[in-house]
Amino acid sequence: MQGSFRVQMRAMVAAINANFGAYTTVPEIKHSFVYYGGSHSFAKFFDTALEKYPRHIEIIYDRAPGWYTSVIVHVKKEIISNL
């Protein structure tokens, strides 16, 4: 089944691992998610990955009040998964 939970989570893990060791943005991870076969609900699967692998992913907020908020994702460790 194309949109199954397992297929979507595999795509998310692959997208996160593709950015291992780097500081990247959420749209870049979303682009990788689609590249690796993710088709829908990026936010749901990104949130699931953040909950499931908290020591692997760090979210950094850079905020200038009244001007912008930048969200940077640092992939600290490669995710080894049996999905």
Instruction: Tell me which CATH code domain 5-75 carries.
Output: 3.30.420
pLDDT at 2 (0 to 100) = 54
pLDDT digits (tens, 9 = 90+) for 22-70: 999 999 999 999 999 998 899 999 999 999 999 999 999 988 888 988 8
pTM of the model as a whole:
0.85
Do residues 77 and 13 touch, judged by C-beta distance below 8 A? no
Q: How confident is the model at residue 3 (pLDDT cuts 50, 70, 90)?
A: low
Strands (E), 1-83: 23-25, 57-64, 68-75
The helix/strand/coil state of 45 is helix
pLDDT at 81 (0 to 100) = 80
- Domain ranges in the chain? 5-75
